[in-house]
Amino acid sequence: MAITKAEYQAAVNRALEYLDKAGIVVPEEEKANLEVADFGLGQLETLGLEIVVYVNTERVCAKELVLFPHQTCPEHRHPNLGMVCGKEETFRCRYGEVYLYTSGMPTPNPKGKAPNEYFTVWHEIILRPGEQYTLEPNTLHWFQAGPEGAVVSEFSTRSTDEADVFTDPRIQRAPEVVEGA
């Protein structure tokens, strides 16, 4: 499913409001390049993510990830690409609360709710402003914002999002944006 230009722009504007709440200044050039990832499912409020990329070189990457209340980044991993290790990433919460799920002992009564049947890892790490967690390459994970939404800074090795492997086979990483109301 595609997202309309109007839906895309509304998500961009809303994401900028969250970045402002977090005290993060976003220059005009970065505002113009803010990405709305709906994962091709047409359920942006439930399964989606808004992204500002600061830098992505051969060695490092830095981004801001915005999640609206209870919005979820689907379960995925960053695989090895040939002789190059998959992406190692550190998430640092800047605003709100984020529920991060990885492999490991499942957490009884997790705070997050799986939006569909494609979520398989349930070891919960709760991040609040100022807290961070580092994921090793090729680690299956997903994350969801709490009731206030969340802003998370991501620091990682080179990002190759187009190579991410999702447990939901329906996902398309690049958004399809169409004309419409």
Q: Could you state, in order of their start, the residue ranges of all structural domains in the chain?
A: 3-178
Q: pLDDT tens across 32-74, in order? A: 999 999 999 989 999 999 999 999 999 999 999 999 999 999 9
**Three-class secondary structure of residue 128 per DSSP:** coil
| CATH among 3.30.420.40, 2.60.120.10, 3.20.20.80, 3.40.50.150 for 3-178 | 2.60.120.10
Tokens of 87: 């992406």
Q: pLDDT tens across 133-175, in order? A: 999 999 999 999 999 999 999 999 999 888 899 999 999 876 6
Q: How many CB atoms lie within 10 A of CB 49?
A: 23
Within 13 Å, how many C-alpha atoms sit on residue 91's CB side?
A: 26
In contact, 90 and 134? CB cutoff 8 Å:
yes
